[in-house]
Amino acid sequence: MLSKWKASQTSGNKAIQTLKLVWESVQAVPKAENQEDEGSSRDIEQTPVQKTAPSELTFEPEDMEIIRTSNVDAVTEKHAESLQDLDRHGGVPATEELSLVAFRVKSLPLACSFGKALHLNDDLIVGFIDLPSSSVLHKIARQLVDRWCNCLKLEEREEQFAKLLSEYKSPDFKTGREEISKAMESKTDLLELCHRLNVNSSGFLQIMCTSLTFPSHIINRIAVKMLNEWVHQGGTRERLLEVAQAFRFHDAAVKITEAMEYQPSYIPFISHGSIDHKGGQLTLGELGITVSIPEGAIPKSMRSVVTLRVQTHDTHRFPVREGEVVISPAVECSLTQELIKPATVVLPHCINHHERKDDSSVILYTKTGPETFGRSNLTPRISQISKNEIKFPTRHLQAWALSSNDLQGLQLKCVVFQPLVMTHAEKPTLRVYIVHPYINYVEDITNKEKSSPVPYCQVMKEFRFSIELRARDLKILFVDGTKRNKRAVNMPE
């Protein structure tokens, strides 16, 4: 076989050319494998370039300006101080929701990480851990002493250890460690030993995590204690949902989100969906928002319960430039990583639609990191705008909003309220709100009016209107049953 193979081999330039072809074919293998990893099961072949149909978007690499900010959207975490504050953050989690989350905590290291995510300090976490037997106490004590000794310098180790033995009235160096460990009769004794060895609560937790394994029912009990303390400190559903999503407790995240969606007093708009390598769709039907995530946009090993939310208060702030105005809802998404393939987003807007030129007046702001935002122009080539909505691609879904420098096209919203109960002797009083539709939400205004000392109700359905740049006042015409009245309200500069 080798003789025949040798006889058939070419030499010189032909051999070199053959070797090059083999090398190029080898180089092509990783590329093919990478394309398969991205979800493509088709054979690799060259296809002719097709022109994009008018109804389709052209996906191009995102050409965006990166803006670095200093806590532009930072929200200081504080405990809810009133029932209204709790309602705005989803209310207090139900016992079933807390139990679902606690059940997913399976190990002591995970329990410690979970406690820190709830912003519980190490001293509290140590207090929640019940040590089941004297043998466990003795084991931890030995680990504490060994770790302490190993951290001492050789020249001072003997002296320091002798001092420790004297505190426990044990003069024997050989049996000293064992006698110290046997002196531990409770967790209080262990904490006293930690104090003498200058080991803080964090170090104590680290030793327990590396040397002990607890049954699942004990871990669940620890997690329940943590959650009860956290709720006592003002924990809310909204924060518990963030923690459940961060730890990928999918069933608990679904349960919490559903509870928030059906809670009448929860004002923000929220929805959820399960997203994996095959993609999926998220919608906020009340606002006309849709996010379509294609197959291969996230890694194969990843699956998440993703929430889509629009706040009606404390809305996400973007570094919008002077001369621009926000024209869409500020949307937040729990999917924080950059997508492998762009998602297609449909957003409502509040501008008068007109034919756009290539230098588009619509700008996309997306959050790309803790203190970074991306800013890019949505040209007609990569986006579509209609009377009520804008469609565009993006790889960043953590938070986003649209702005425009076409201030003349901005549409405002008018909402009118009247007292819910009024005597015949009282004069009719109306409260007229002229608001930006995506900064001051009617739902939030309605909730405030209902809960005011004199409850007000909405008189008529809100409507949109535009103001010409030359207008100096806004004329309001109303009828009180007998005559027509006209009022003029000065427009701010």
Please report whether residue 2 resides in a domain. no
Q: Within 247-323, where are the H helices? A: 250-261
Per DSSP, the three-state class of 157 is helix
Are both 286 and 418 inside the same structural domain?
A: no
Are both 193 and 209 inside the same structural domain?
A: yes
Are both 287 and 401 inside the same structural domain?
A: yes
Are both 87 and 222 inside the same structural domain?
A: yes
CB pairs under 8 A, 24+ apart, for 249-255?
249/100, 249/101, 249/104, 250/274, 250/303, 250/304, 250/305, 251/100, 251/104, 252/97, 252/100, 252/101, 252/104, 253/305, 253/307, 254/305, 255/96, 255/97, 255/100
Distance CA 342, CA 340 (A): 7
Residue that terminates a domain, selected from 362, 380, 408? 408
Residue 248 half-sphere exposure, CB side, CA atoms within 13 Å?
7
Please report whether residue 444 resides in a domain. yes
Of the candidates 396, 352, 357, 351, the residue with the CA atom closest to the CA atom of residue 376: 396
Are both 402 and 417 inside the same structural domain?
A: no
Are both 386 and 312 inside the same structural domain?
A: yes
Q: Give the chain's domain count.
A: 3
Q: Please list, in sequence order, all residues whose beta carbon lies within 8 angstroms of the beta carbon of residue 87, skipping any fewer than 6 positions away.
A: 263, 265, 266, 267
In the numeric block, which tokens belong to residue 86? Answer: 């709790």
Q: Within 216-374, where are the H helices? A: 216-232, 237-246, 250-261
Please report whether residue 7 resides in a domain. no
Residue that terminates a domain, selected from 408, 430, 446? 408
Contact 417, 387 (CB under 8 A): no
Q: Please list, in sequence order, all residues whose beta carbon lies within 8 angstroms of the beta carbon of residue 153, skipping any fewer than 6 positions away.
A: none
Are both 277 and 299 inside the same structural domain?
A: yes
Per DSSP, the three-state class of 261 is helix
**pTM higher than the cut 0.75:** no
Contact 414, 463 (CB under 8 A): yes
Q: What's the pLDDT score for residue 149?
A: 82
Are both 283 and 386 inside the same structural domain?
A: yes
Domain interval for residue 183: 83-232
Are both 452 and 429 inside the same structural domain?
A: yes
Please report whether residue 26 resides in a domain. no
Are both 469 and 389 inside the same structural domain?
A: no
- H or E stretch including 159? helix 154-167
In the numeric block, which tokens belong to residue 54? Answer: 């008018």
Question: What are the pLDDT tens digits along the chain (493 aa)?
Answer: 444 444 444 444 444 444 344 334 434 433 433 443 444 333 323 333 333 343 455 555 567 788 887 654 444 344 444 556 677 788 899 999 999 999 999 999 999 999 999 999 999 999 999 887 888 888 888 888 888 888 878 777 777 888 888 887 766 666 777 888 888 888 888 898 888 888 899 999 998 998 888 899 999 999 999 999 999 999 999 999 999 999 999 999 999 999 988 887 676 789 999 999 999 999 999 899 999 999 999 999 888 999 999 987 767 789 999 889 999 999 999 999 999 999 999 999 998 866 544 456 899 999 998 889 999 999 888 899 998 899 999 999 999 999 998 877 788 888 989 888 877 777 778 888 888 888 888 888 888 888 888 888 888 888 888 766 555 566 666 555 555 555 555 554 4
Please report whether residue 468 resides in a domain. yes
The CATH code of the domain that includes 304 is 2.60.220.30
Are both 322 and 396 inside the same structural domain?
A: yes
Beta bridge partners of 271: 308
Residue that terminates a domain, selected from 408, 423, 438? 408
Please report whether residue 443 resides in a domain. yes
Please report whether residue 257 resides in a domain. no
Please report whether residue 17 resides in a domain. no
Are both 111 and 135 inside the same structural domain?
A: yes
